[in-house]
Structure 1
Amino acid sequence: MTALRSRVAETARVYRLHPPRVSLGRVVATPGALDVVRDHGVDLPGLLRRHASGDWGDVCAADAQANDLAADPACPARLLSAYDTAGGRLWVLTEADRSATTVLLPSEY
């Protein structure tokens, strides 16, 4: 098993243990993100579950802390997760009002 597959399997095990922390609202994806998902077999529902459960992926410590604060309903703010996939990095952004979540490439921001 490759290191990436091992890491994905462990992450999958962990996020199944944690209920969603935030509502995703309407989920949309950009054409570039959909190309990566299709061309590289990315588990998009899995990434969305990770994001919703508070696994922010490959963000810096400051962004992870900001997400943890923003996940609290008392002070909602936009959430950003970043996941390195076989097709490159994907971002998952949830709006502060939790009306929508967008999956996109960093270059599409």
Structure 2
Amino acid sequence: MAHLFMLGEIALTHGVNKLVNGDHSLLHPFLMKHVSGQWGDLPEEDKQANDDALKNGGRLMSAYHLPQGKIWIVTEADRSSSTILLPSEY
């Protein structure tokens, strides 16, 4: 998978850490999808907004379903950091 942008510093919330029971390796496939532009379970207009943000700058967001629950990945507009969080933590 080609990387379309840099993730920057990766952080995860307490809720995500608890969701994966501390096994952060479970998150790697979803980070790889995010960085390659596979935005996951988002409405088409949000996917288009991400595609536009790749060209023009802007925040990027993906949503994925793990067996344990749903996560979001948000990369800041300046690509300095990406946060993995639960929707309830937004």
Instruction: Please state which band the TM-score falls in when normalised by the shorter chain.
Output: over 0.9
Q: Which residue of the partner structure matches residue 95 of structure 1?
A: 76
Q: Which residue of the partner structure matches residue 20 of structure 2?
A: 37
Q: Gaps (5+ residues) in structure 2?
A: none
CA distance in 1, matches of 2:25, 2:66: 7
Tell me if the contact between 2:13 and 2:84 (Cα under 8 Å) persists in the aligned partners.
yes
Report how many aligned residue pairs link the two structures: 90
CA positional deviation for 1:43: 2.0
Structure with the largest fraction of helix: 1
Structure 1 residue ranges, 4+ long, deviating more than 4 angstroms after superposition: 39-42
Q: Gaps (5+ residues) in structure 1?
A: 1-17
TM-score w.r.t. structure 2 length? 0.93
- Residues 46-104 of structure 1: per-residue CA shift (max 9 Å, x gap): 110110000000000000000011112xx110001000111111000000000000000
Tell me if the contact between 1:39 and 1:87 (Cα under 8 Å) persists in the aligned partners.
no
CA distance in 2, matches of 1:41, 1:54: 21
Tell me if the contact between 1:25 and 1:100 (Cα under 8 Å) persists in the aligned partners.
yes
- RMSD value, Cα: 1.7
Task: Please state whether the residue corresponding to 1:92 is helix, strand or coil.
Answer: strand
1:78 and 2:48 are equivalent in the alignment: no
Q: Which residue of the partner structure matches residue 10 of structure 2?
A: 27
1:104 and 2:82 are equivalent in the alignment: no
Tell me if the contact between 2:62 and 2:73 (Cα under 8 Å) persists in the aligned partners.
yes
Task: Please state whether the residue corresponding to 1:81 is helix, strand or coil.
Answer: strand
80 and 51 in structure 1: CA distance in 2 versus 1, 3 angstrom threshold:
same
